[in-house]
């Protein structure tokens, strides 16, 4: 929380935030970055597997290199940090079982307690590469949404982005060696009130009457 967001409801914060197009270059403090990451780490995921990692970029040279990879979008340059959401390249037994073992260890339960879970989750490995990719990516997007809200709570501007060359970013960050693939990036920083063309424009969404259908099929 800060003076901008104190005593604000989630709805107020979602009204306040916007996909910032130009940031001012002002730094975000490490404690705020840590809180945004912690909220992201606490996001739910299918079977609790959390099949992704967060890369934190704050080196100016690296941001400069990401700029052209992200189609020269200005929010890259003025950002304080960039979070890269990088997904497991696929579900491997090694990764999945390690997470199940971790859950049991953290709960003080014997590793064998996870045997049923491991058996039950076996279907994941029979999915095609494309199906696995889709399933893993869905988990990333969900956590991404939580990160957007967490940033808003702290009065930090976030620019959700999928407009970048994933292969080029993977190469730059050496993600293949980590068996990860970039999915989304999120520059964090502070809006440039003077120079951002979007800052004063109305937030527009589908009207509620067109957005919600109550008890469909029962009229
Ligand atoms: C997954 C995702 C990817 C996006 N990618 C980009 C992007 O690459 N560049 C950009 O300027 N905005 C991007 N946006 C921002 C959307 O255009 C923006 O969220 C939407 O128009 C709603 O506006 P608001 O976020 O300002 O309320 C992205 C948003 C999401 C959720």
CA of 20 to the centre of ligand 1 (A): 9
Q: How many Å apart are CA 137 and CA 181, to the nearest integer? A: 10
CA of 85 to the centre of ligand 1 (A): 15
In percent, the amount of the chain with pLDDT more than 70 equals: 97
Q: Look at ligand 1, atom 5, and give the residue with the nearest C-alpha.
A: 161
Tens digit of each residue's pLDDT (9 = 90 or more) over 144-165: 999 999 999 999 999 999 999 9
Tokens standing for 23? 């940031």
In percent, the amount of the chain with pLDDT more than 90 equals: 96
DSSP annotation of 174 reads: T
Report the candidate in 173, 197, 195, 198 with the shortest Cα–Cα distance to residue 185.
173
Residue 17 domain-assigned (yes or no): yes
Element (H, E) at 53: strand 52-57
Residue 108 domain-assigned (yes or no): no
Place of tokens 């953290």: 106
pLDDT of res. 6: 75
Residue 52 domain-assigned (yes or no): yes
CA of 26 to the centre of ligand 1 (A): 21
Tens digit of each residue's pLDDT (9 = 90 or more) over 81-115: 999 999 999 999 999 999 999 999 999 999 999 99
Domain range spanning residue 145? 10-91+127-211
Tens digit of each residue's pLDDT (9 = 90 or more) over 193-219: 999 999 999 999 999 999 999 999 996
**pLDDT at residue 18 greater than cutoff 60:** yes
CA of 187 to the centre of ligand 1 (A): 12
**pLDDT at residue 37 greater than cutoff 80:** yes
**pLDDT at residue 1 greater than cutoff 80:** no
Q: How far, in whole angstroms, is CA 183 from its chain's centroid?
A: 9
Residue 112 domain-assigned (yes or no): no
pLDDT of res. 3: 58
Residues 6+ apart with CB under 8 A from 138: 46
CA of 103 to the centre of ligand 1 (A): 34
Place of tokens 């339960």: 109
Q: Give how many domains the chain has, as a whole number.
A: 1
Residue 121 domain-assigned (yes or no): no
Q: How far, in whole angstroms, is CA 52 from its chain's centroid?
A: 9
What is the domain-level CATH number for residue 67?
Answer: 3.40.109.10
Taking a C-beta distance cutoff of 8 angstroms, is the pair 38, 202 a contact? Answer: no
Q: Which of 12, 161, 206 to mutate to test the pocket of ligand 1 (most atoms within 8 A of CB)?
A: 161
Report the candidate in 160, 165, 141 with the shortest Cα–Cα distance to residue 70.
165
**pLDDT at residue 31 greater than cutoff 60:** yes
Tens digit of each residue's pLDDT (9 = 90 or more) over 175-198: 999 999 999 999 999 999 999 999
Report the candidate in 172, 196, 175 with the shortest Cα–Cα distance to residue 59.
172
**pLDDT at residue 20 greater than cutoff 90:** yes
Question: Which band of pLDDT confidence, cut at 50, 70 and 90, is reported for residue 4?
Answer: low
> How high is the mean pLDDT of the chain?
96
| Pocket of ligand 1, beta carbon within 6 A | 18-19, 21, 73, 160-163, 184, 203
Q: In ligand 1, which atom is closest to the CA atom of 71? A: 8
User: Can you list the positions of beta strands (E) in 117-213?
Assistant: 157-158, 180-189
Residue 117 domain-assigned (yes or no): no
């Amino acid at each position: 929380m800060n003076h901008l967001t104190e005593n604000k409801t989630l709805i107020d914060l979602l009204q306040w935030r916007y996909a910032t197009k130009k940031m001012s270059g002002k730094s975000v403090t490490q404690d705020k970055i840590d809180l945004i990451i912690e909220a992201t780490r606490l996001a739910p995921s299918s079977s609790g597997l959390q099949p992704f990692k967060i890369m934190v970029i704050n080196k100016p040279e690296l941001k400069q290199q990401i700029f052209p990879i992200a189609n020269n979008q200005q929010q890259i340059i003025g950002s304080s940090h960039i979070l890269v959401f990088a997904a497991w390249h696929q579900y491997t037994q090694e990764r999945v079982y390690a997470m199940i073992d971790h859950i049991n260890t953290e709960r003080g339960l014997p590793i064998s307690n996870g045997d049923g879970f491991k058996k039950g989750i076996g279907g994941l490995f029979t999915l095609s590469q494309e199906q696995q990719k889709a399933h893993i990516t869905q988990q990333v997007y969900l956590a991404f949404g939580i990160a957007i809200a967490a940033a808003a709570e702290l009065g930090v501007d976030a620019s959700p982005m999928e407009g970048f060359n994933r292969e080029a970013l993977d190469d730059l960050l050496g993600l293949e060696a980590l068996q990860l693939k970039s999915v989304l990036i999120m520059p964090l920083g502070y809006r440039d009130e003077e120079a951002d063309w979007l800052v004063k424009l109305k937030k527009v969404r589908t009207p509620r009457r067109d957005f919600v259908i109550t008890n469909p099929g029962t009229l």
